Amino acid sequence: MQFKTLFLTLIPAAMAHFHLTYPLWRADSLALATNNQSISQWFYPCAGIGQETSANNRTAWPLDGGSVVWNSSHPDALTTINLGLGAAVTTFNISLIPMYNETGAGQTCLSKVGQSKLSPLNITDGTQASIQVITISSTGAALYNCADIVFRKNATVLDSGSCKNDTGVSGSAIVNANAGNSSEGSGSSGNSTTKGSGAIKGSVPVAALFAAVGAGMYASL
Ligand SMILES: *[C@@H]1O[C@H](CO)[C@@H](O)[C@H](O)[C@H]1NC(C)=O
Ligand SMILES: *[C@@H]1O[C@H](CO)[C@@H](O)[C@H](O)[C@H]1NC(C)=O
Ligand SMILES: *[C@@H]1O[C@H](CO)[C@@H](O)[C@H](O)[C@H]1NC(C)=O
Ligand SMILES: *[C@@H]1O[C@H](CO)[C@@H](O)[C@H](O)[C@H]1NC(C)=O
Ligand SMILES: *[C@@H]1O[C@H](CO)[C@@H](O)[C@H](O)[C@H]1NC(C)=O
Ligand SMILES: *[C@@H]1O[C@H](CO)[C@@H](O)[C@H](O)[C@H]1NC(C)=O
Ligand SMILES: *[C@@H]1O[C@H](CO)[C@@H](O)[C@H](O)[C@H]1NC(C)=O
Ligand SMILES: *[C@@H]1O[C@H](CO)[C@@H](O)[C@H](O)[C@H]1NC(C)=O
Ligand SMILES: *[C@@H]1O[C@H](CO)[C@@H](O)[C@H](O)[C@H]1NC(C)=O
Ligand SMILES: *[C@@H]1O[C@H](CO)[C@@H](O)[C@H](O)[C@H]1NC(C)=O
């Protein structure tokens, strides 16, 4: 009985992980971690997996942004997607989406990621890049996975048959630490360091978040 309780308590922490299913990830970081101590999804920036593992097998992505699909075991996780340009990326310094609170375990598909960020860069056919997906659990620990891509004029986003969210998967704006503190006043967003997103309280659809926050956030980067 006691063992059973302990077992059930430990499972979520031990199994905490996510699969990056599209674009094709560099390697199955979860499987490799079981017998290689230099590989773990806890390791920045790409779970310990080098870019060379998939350099010759890059997923073709549309010039103005493509689909990203991952499958998380967390009931909620602050999630963001970054990009680095080049054949051998060391800096993932282009944030494709504002970090948001992904809720519900299971598969998330974002159909077209990064359009407003990529368009001004005039990406050309054949440009190589790498994508980094980060999920941060409520404990504050971050998990990483990366995928290597090549921008192609003829690439498309996933069709609606492949781009699906599991039931119960959703997203919301990140709630301010001070949210709900009435002495802060309802007209003020408190002292948020992220311009724009700090003003959003409570739960809003992620699409709305992107629309509302996107412009301001990109402008301030
Ligand atoms: C462990 O992974 C690292 C990084 O991918 C790799 O260089 C190394 O060869 C692997 N070691 C074993 C024993 O597979
Ligand atoms: C290359 O990518 C495709 C999917 O895009 C995958 O099915 C295939 O297994 C990959 N090949 C290697 C050698 O990783
Ligand atoms: C991103 O990093 C690369 C490599 O360090 C650098 O060349 C580029 O200027 C950086 N871009 C931005 C927007 O900071
Ligand atoms: C996705 O995650 C859910 C919940 O953790 C799990 O039941 C399912 O098997 C996963 N699917 C894949 C393809 O990893
Ligand atoms: C992209 O193209 C536009 C229009 O030609 C130009 O104004 C802009 O400077 C270009 N941006 C970059 C990053 O090259
Ligand atoms: C897209 O363009 C690339 C490079 O020109 C080519 O190798 C590939 O076959 C094309 N794919 C499709 C689906 O047309
Ligand atoms: C999946 O959920 C996210 C977060 O709510 C949302 O932005 C996205 O549009 C959804 N994807 C699909 C295919 O509905
Ligand atoms: C994220 O969502 C979960 C589930 O609704 C909630 O418990 C958590 O406080 C949220 N985290 C943040 C930082 O908004
Ligand atoms: C609410 O905010 C005020 C002013 O910042 C602070 O003094 C107070 O401790 C906060 N209360 C809670 C419950 O966080
Ligand atoms: C908000 O930030 C400003 C500038 O950093 C600071 O002067 C002010 O005291 C802060 N207000 C609160 C309530 O923390």
Mean pLDDT of 96-115: 96
Residue 19 CA, closest ligand 4 atom number: 14
Give pLDDT, residue 55: 63
Instruction: Give the model's pLDDT for residue 15.
Output: 56
User: What confidence score (pLDDT) does residue 217 get?
Assistant: 32
If you write DSSP's letter for every residue of 77-107 in order, what string do you get?
Answer: EEEEEEEEESSS-----EE-S--EEEESSEE
> What's the topology of domain 2-208?
Coagulation Factor XIII; Chain A, domain 1 (2.70.50)
| Ligand 9, atom nearest to 182 Cα | 1
Q: b or e along 44-54 (b: 16 or more beta carbons within 10 Å of the residue's beta carbon)?
A: ebbbbbebeeb
Please compute the mean of the pLDDT values over residues 49-60 and round it to a whole number. 83
Enter the pTM of the model. 0.79
Q: What separation in Å is there between the alpha carbon of 88 and the centre of ligand 5? A: 24
Cβ atoms of residues 141 and 135 within 8 Å: no
pLDDT average, residue stretch 168-193: 66
Q: What is the DSSP letter of 162?
A: T
Tokens of 167: 């039931």
Output the pLDDT for position 182.
63
Output phi, psi for 22, to 5 deg: -160, 130
Q: What integer is the mean pLDDT of 81-89? A: 95
Q: Where are the domains of the chain?
A: 2-208
Q: Are 133 and 20 in contact (CB under 8 A)?
A: yes
